[in-house]
A and B are shown apart, each in its own frame.
Chain A
Amino acid sequence: MTEFLTRHRQSRGLLAFALGTLLTVAACGVLVSHSRLFSQKRDTAVMIGTTLPELKSSVALLAANVEAEQLFTENALRSREELADAYVLPASSPGPRLADTASDIARALTDHAKSRVSVTRLTFDAAVDKSGVKATPAHLTLTGNFQAVSRFLGILGFSGDMMVKDVIPPDVQADVLARVERVSPASLKAAEDFLYLDLLSYAAEPDARESRFFKDMPADAIGDIHATMLASGLADVRTAFEYAAASMKDAKAWPMPLTRIDGFRRDGDVWTIDLTVFGR
């Protein structure tokens, strides 16, 4: 009996010892996992802290972009659509508008540039209908030297473009806006306004329009951004429209029908140009 009781007491003691050991090991496990959690949370904090400024910048850019697009959609989109409907991709024949615009361009270049260019002849073939778009082949004959005709065709190359943002590739626009946000976030709205500016208005007074954009930016940041925008297409706008923009604006000669230059041939000062003019 005594032996039984002794053995029973020893069994309970052993069980308590085993249980106590298990509980101690469990407690150690809890402490180790908690210290790992501390370390993980610290790493997470550092990671978030590092990526947060970039996320803030990206959200600020996106907000400015969306605000500008909302303003454009509310205020100007309808009028641009109407202009496109009437002049750029008209339902009626684009011939008369192209003839008027070509004459206005030639007159403006001749009056204000140092070399003459004139429209000698403009003829149209029958339109070809492709998936709801009418493509009308046209043949234009110009008289002028290389410089004058290159300006003329340079302006023709911008047919269909109505805003500054239509000239600058989307990736360059995004890069410029990102740089503006970095150096002068307060200038983001001015940057968006500049991109949505009417193209001929910009071409008529490019320096003044650019000054408004750069007004509040630090002087050392303007050079790079300006150079990027010029290289991406604005320099060509300035060159093409240099002598013609003001006259064309007065004559309401823009926008013009979307026109593609398919080919041309020069014979002395006579240029024969094959075009495709688009309509609906």
Chain B
Amino acid sequence: MQPKTASEYAGASVDPVLVPALSRLGPPVLIFGAVFLALSFGLTMLVSPDRFPVRVGDRVVRLSDLEAEEKALKVQQADLLKTRENLKTEEKAPILHQVSVLAAGVVPVGRTLLLVDRVRASFKNASTDPISLPRVELTSDGTLVLGGEVRDLGGRSVQLLSSFIDGLRGVPTVSSVSEPEYLSVEQPDGSSVSPFTVTLTLSHD
């Protein structure tokens, strides 16, 4: 057999060196790969996250315990909701249900009058009751019209009236209060009187 020439060696590139080298490495690489894969699987089975506790807040718990606790609570919650659904009174107490339906959406007139009186009475003191409401009307469209006057011995009836209007605007069952005309009628004794009419729009329950 003739020895190969240099050009023949160059033309053959690395095949005569690399291929035999790789083929010789084959069995050890195969054994390494197989053992490495087996060890990896073994490690994943042994070192499971569920085995190791985690710190949550001020306690250390295992994830499986946390998940079990959460699941139990959710089951309990679902049972309670189902029980509550079965306790609905529409069928067991139809009249009570009908009452609640009729009562919903009622304009709270009585409550509003109490609150208006509370605002009015807040201006009283031991000797005077400056705000009187001789004209009161609830119209069919649900607006409350108050007509009255504010008297003040010191001549500050307009200021008292504006405070009264502010107080009415704070009543939770009133959605709006019209702006009255602010008049001051001087009296011979130095006091002042401010007659007024305001319209309160009531909000629904």
Contact = CB atoms under 8 A, between A and B. Distances in A.
Given A84-B99, A146-B120, A26 B37 contact: yes
Contact of A21 (B31, B33, B87, B133): B33
Contacts of B111: 154, 157, 233, 236, 240
Contacts of A153: 109-110, 113-114
A263 interface: yes
Interface residues of B, number: 76
Contacts of A166: 100
A89 B81 CA distance: 30
A261 interface: yes
A45 B54 contact: yes
A230 interface: no
Nearest to B74: A55
A46 interface: yes
Interface in B97-113: 98-100, 102-103, 106-111, 113
Contacts of B102: 89, 133, 160, 258, 278
Contact of A63 (B80, B92, B138): B80
Nearest to B32: A20
Contacts of B106: 260
A55 to B, nearest CB: 5
Contacts of B28: 20
Interface of A: 9-24, 26-28, 30-31, 34, 37-38, 41-42, 44-46, 48-52, 55-56, 58-59, 62-63, 65-66, 69-70, 73, 77-78, 80-81, 84-85, 88-89, 133, 146-147, 149-151, 153-158, 160-161, 166, 233, 236, 239-240, 258, 260-266, 268, 271, 278, 280
25 contacts: A13-B25, A13-B26, A14-B23, A17-B22, A19-B30, A20-B33, A27-B37, A30-B41, A41-B50, A41-B63, A44-B63, A45-B61, A48-B66, A52-B70, A62-B77, A65-B84, A80-B96, A81-B95, A84-B99, A89-B98, A150-B113, A150-B114, A160-B102, A265-B136, A280-B98
